[in-house]
Amino acid sequence: MAFLPNPKSRALLFDVTRCVGCHECAKACKASHSFPGTGEETELDATTYTVVLDKGDDRYLRRMCMHCADPSCVSACPVGAFTKTELGPVVYDAGKCMGCRYCMIACPFNVPRYEWSKPIPVVRKCDGCIERQREGKPTACTEACPAEATVGGTREEMLAEAKKRIAENPGTYHPVVYGENEVGGTNVFVLSPVRSSSSDEGRPRQRPDAEPHLGGPVEDPQGRRRRRRGPLRDLLDHPPARGRGGRRARREGVTSMRLPSF
Whether 152 contacts 14, CB under 8 Å: no
CB closer to ligand SF4 out of 24 and 234:
24
User: Of the two residues 186 and 196, which places its CB atom closer to ligand SF4 in the complex?
Assistant: 186
Shortest spacing between CB 141 and ligand SF4, in angstroms:
3
Binding residues (CB under 6 A) for ligand SF4: these are 19-25, 28-29, 32, 49-50, 52, 60, 62, 64-68, 71-73, 90, 107, 109, 111-112, 125-129, 139-141, 144-145, 147, 149-150
Cα distances from 189 to residues 81, 94, 166, 212, in angstroms, run 25, 27, 13, 15
Q: Nearer to ligand SF4 by C-beta: 50 or 227?
A: 50
Cβ distance to ligand SF4 smaller for residue 133 or 196: 133
State the Cα torsion 44-47-49-50 to the nearest 10°: -60
Q: How many CB atoms lie within 10 A of CB 163?
A: 16
139 vs 196 by CB, closer to ligand SF4: 139
| CB of 18 or CB of 205, closer to ligand SF4 | 18
Minimum distance from residue 185 beta carbon to ligand SF4 (Å):
11
Cβ at position 176, least distance to ligand SF4 in Å: 18
Partners of 190 in the β-ladder: 14, 178
Cα–Cα dist 148/35, whole Å:
24
CA-based nearest residue to 16, from 138, 147, 126: 147
Distances (CA, A) of 140 to 23, 56, 128, 244: 12, 26, 9, 30
* Rounded Cα gap, residues 110 and 92, in angstroms: 16
Closest CA to 77 of 237, 242, 240: 242
Minimum gap (Å) between residue 51 Cβ and ligand SF4:
9
Q: Shortest Cβ distance from residue 67 to ligand SF4 (Å)?
A: 5
User: How near is the Cβ of 224 to ligand SF4 at its closest, in Å?
Assistant: 28
